[in-house]
Amino acid sequence: MCPESAKRSRSAGPDNPKRRRFLRTMILIGGLIGASLVGLVPVVRGWARRLRPPGALAEADFLSACIKCGQCVQVCPVEAISLADIQDGAGVGTPWIDPRRQACDFSCDGLQCVLACPTGALTHDLDYPHQARMATAVLARPDLCLAVRGQGVAGPARGKNFKGVLRYAEIDRWHPLPVREHEYDLEVCDLCVRMCPIEIRISQCEAGNPPAGDPNQCPPQPAIRLVPTGEKGGRATYTPQVLSGCVGCGVCEMICPAEPSAIVMDLLAGEGSA
């Protein structure tokens, strides 16, 4: 090789194809790293906080342990679980529950999503529904609560077009039924208590009929009750009181006839537990 051409190939001018390729590669690497780091923003800033399926580890651990395969989605009998989209950044593909659309009512009894999870992001330490702590219910809009206003419910809780399903064990032990097909006729609305999976289990146990015949399924603590608050225009009024047994499954938020729901899931209270 003559020294002239050797010199030229070593020159670092912008027209040198090798140099241009190097710069292109740097830009590609930088761009992809940048794009992936943007994905950290929603999870680090907490924009991607969502109600997770039962047994989910504390949010930061959950996000690192989840392999985003959706096996929990596939086994859920009430199809409560969805996978997060790209708005959740690095949380893309992680399972979450929109309780207002479809809450987890533990229809499966055996915590199928927990059993399906291959990584333990939904921890296998959980054996029974009452051990879950997904969130805590809070009465966020007391002024909308029918019980607080002394009002009742007639007809389906969420209207004729609501697509959600729940287990009505007294009608069908095995198959969840559409909520819209279930007509209520209540003088005072107590749906958040009446439909609470924990409260239902407690009454089944008190009647000597624990779920799946297993006394271990009996929740040790009540989750919610109605407290009388007096009278309003000749009608008795109550306020829902959330108790320590609440697992944050979201059924009360789902069934609440008020629009928007008077009772909602408070995620922050559920942080750091199963």
Partner 1 sequence: MKALLQSVAVLLGRTPPRPTPEDISPRVREIHELQAMPMNREQIRDARAEMVSRPQTWRRRRWAVLIAVNLLFVLSYHLDIQLVEGALTGSRFVGFHMADVNSALQVMLAYRHVVLNLLIGVVSVSLLWWALGGRTFCSWVCPYHLLGELGEIIHLRLAARKLVKNHTFDRRGRTVLWLFFAVLAFVTGYTVYETISPTGILSRALIYGPGLALVWVVALLMFEIFYSRRGWCRYACPIGLTYGLVGVLAPLKVVHNIGQCHNDGACRQVCLVPHVLATTIRGRAKTMNTDLGADCTRCGRCLDVCPTSSLSFKFKGPG
Amino acid at the residue 46:
G
Q: Work out which of 49, 69, 109, 131 binds partner 1, going by CB under 8 A.
A: 69
- Single residue of 22, 171, 183, 231 touching partner 1 by CB under 8 A: 22
How far is the C-alpha of 195 from the C-alpha of 105, rounded, in Å? 9
Query: Should residue 25 be labelled a site residue for partner 1 when binding is judged by CB under 8 A?
Result: yes
Please, which residue, 126 or 192, has the CB nearer to partner 1? 126
Q: Using the rule CB under 8 A, give the single segment among 79-87, 97-105, 132-140, 157-165 that binds partner 1.
A: 79-87
Q: Which is nearer to partner 1, 113 or 195 (CB)?
A: 113
**Residue 255: partners with Cβ closer than 8 Å, 6 or more residues away:** 103, 157, 158, 166, 179, 191, 192, 195
Rounded to whole angstroms, what are the CA distances from 75 to 33, 39, 71, 116, 218? 35, 28, 7, 7, 23
Least distance between partner 1 and beta carbon 117 (Å): 9
Cβ closest to partner 1, residue 120 vs residue 152: 120
What lies within 8 Å, CB to CB, of 63 at 6+ separation is: 43, 48, 90, 91, 94
The single-letter DSSP state of residue 119 is: S
CB 139 within 8 A of CB 240: yes
Q: Which of 49, 73, 142, 243 binds partner 1 (CB under 8 A)?
A: 73
What is the signed CA dihedral for 218, 156, 77, 217, rounded to 10 degrees? 0
Binding mask 107-136 for partner 1 (x = CB under 8 A): ---------x-xxx----------------
Joined together, the tokens standing for residue 179 give 């909520």
Among 50, 52, 53, 66, binds partner 1 (CB under 8 A): 66
- Say if residues 214 and 130 touch (Cβ distance below 8 Å): no
Q: Is residue 9 a contact residue for partner 1 (CB under 8 A)?
A: no
Query: Is omega for the bond preceding 260 within 30 degrees of 0, making it cis?
Result: yes
Q: Is 36 in the site for partner 1 (CB under 8 A)?
A: yes
Stretch that binds partner 1, among 23-31, 166-174, 222-230, 238-246 (CB under 8 A): 23-31
The reply on whether position 6 binds partner 1 by CB under 8 A is no
Burial 148-174 (b: 16+ CB within 10 A, else e): bbbbbbeebbbeeebebbbbbeeeeee
Candidate ranges 7-15, 56-64, 99-107, 174-182; the one touching partner 1 (CB under 8 A): 56-64
Under the rule (CB under 8 A), what is the footprint of partner 1? 21-22, 24-25, 28-29, 32-33, 35-37, 39-40, 43, 60-61, 63-71, 73-75, 82-83, 85-87, 89-90, 92-93, 116, 118-120
